[in-house]
Amino acid sequence: MPTKRMKPTSPGRRHLIASTYEEITKKKPEKSLLAPIKKKGGRNHTGRITMKNRGGGNKRRYRIIDFKRNRDGIEATVIGIEYDPNRTCRIALLEYADGVRTYILAPRNVTDGTKVLSGEGADILPGNCLKLRNIPLGTLVHNVELQPGKGGQMVRSAGASAQVMAKEGNYVTLRLPSGEMRMVHADCKATIGEVGNAEHENEQLGKAGKNRGLGRKPHVRGVVMSPRDHPHGGGEAKSPVGRRKGPVDRWGNKALGVPTRKNKRTDRFIVRKRKSRK
């Protein structure tokens, strides 16, 4: 999935680096696997904005992805690689032997005609889905479940992969893309291989209008606001944050590198915390 730098024929294309979309083989989505997306503009059920800088954006429809991969023992064939506007990776359309069609996240090196299988009898090949207890050590996996049968929740973005590091009892230790070492129950499923479209990190939007198309509105810094709008605001001319306790968000909570994890119930599954940001 290489990228290409556009010729500077206009200011908006001068800094644009886009995907070549060479891997895409099917242009129109499967109608039976589409669902509507209602825009909320960052508002909750009461109509109040709870997430700033959201709104607008291009009209999209959701592609229903099979994160559970629970059709065990039935071989499927990849009949198309498609673009998904709702995620960074590509998606693959599968047709099972009994005629059922589903979408999955497209793994690296999986193309039209590739056969995939889920369940205990599946080989260790990209696109196949197995329980973690049946996957050898050192294997790269993605779309990892946190609870058996719930569906993949981790390692789903473009180019991501986790590595099976150890097995002990009913738990398997994975090294996640963040560097975190985490224990996951051995009955949880994972898909073999890396997620495709690894070159996504090299893309550049090139102009502000691209961000607006993604539904992202301009972000205003706290230091240029007034004191009533943000704790960093106020002061004469350009002023620093000027707080003894460090930077905060607009509600006074600590920000910029301070851990925000509060789920102590699952702390026991984390063997090593993720890499510190420097």
66's CB contacts (< 8 A; 6+ apart) are: 94, 102, 103, 104
CATH number for the domain harbouring residue 108: 2.40.50.140
Checking if the pLDDT of 12 tops 80, the result is: yes
Please give the share of the chain, as a percent, with pLDDT higher than 70. 99
Looking up tokens 């910029």 gives 256
Residue 260, pLDDT score: 80
Q: Is residue 260 located within the same domain as residue 164?
A: no
What is the structure's pLDDT at 126? 97
The verdict on residue 56 lying in a domain is yes
CA dist 25 and 92 (Å) reads: 10
Q: Looking at the domain assignment, is residue 237 inside a domain? A: yes
pLDDT band at 277 (very low <50, low <70, confident <90, very high): low
SS3 127: coil
Same domain assignment for residues 109 and 155: yes
Asked if pLDDT for residue 278 goes beyond 50, the answer is no
Tell whether 173 and 230 lie within a shared domain: no
- Where is pLDDT greater, at 2 or 100? 100
In terms of domains, do 35 and 110 share one? Answer: yes
**What pLDDT does 276 receive?**
58
Q: What is the pLDDT of residue 255?
A: 87
Question: In whole angstroms, what is the distance from residue 35 CA to residue 184 CA?
Answer: 31
Q: Say yes or no: 195 and 257 in one domain.
A: no
**Residue 161 — φ and ψ, nearest 5°?**
-160, 150
Q: State the average pLDDT for the chain.
A: 94
Q: Residue 214's closest CA among 89, 61, 60, 58?
A: 58
Question: Quick one: pLDDT at residue 1?
Answer: 62
| Torsion, Cα of 53, 12, 28, 189 (10° steps) | -50
Q: Are residues 244 and 144 in the same domain?
A: no
Between CA 6 and CA 16 the distance in angstroms is 6
Chain centroid to CA 274: 17
Q: Is residue 231 part of a domain?
A: yes
CATH number at residue 233: 4.10.950.10
Mapped onto helix, strand or coil, the DSSP state of residue 62 is: strand
Q: Are residues 175 and 236 in the same domain?
A: no
pTM over 0.75: yes
- Provide mean pLDDT across the span 175-199: 97
Are 121 and 243 within one domain?
Answer: no
Domain match, 254 and 134 both: no
- Which helix or strand (DSSP H or E) is residue 168 part of? strand 162-168
Mean pLDDT of 77-103: 97
In a domain, 101, yes or no: yes
Total number of domains constituting the chain = 2
Q: Are residues 39 and 169 in the same domain?
A: yes
Within-domain flag for 212: no
Q: Which of 76-85, 236-245, 265-274 has the highest mean pLDDT?
A: 76-85
Q: With 0-12 CB in 10 A as exposed, 13-18 as middle and 19+ as buried, what is 128?
A: buried
In this structure, is residue 276 part of a structural domain? no
Q: Are 36 and 105 in the same domain?
A: yes
In a domain, 213, yes or no: no
Residue 242 banded pLDDT, cuts 50, 70, 90: confident
Q: DSSP label at 203?
A: -
Residues 134 and 251 placed together within one structural domain of the fold: no
Q: What is the pLDDT of residue 245?
A: 81
Domain that holds residue 88: 20-201
Is 15 inside any structural domain?
no
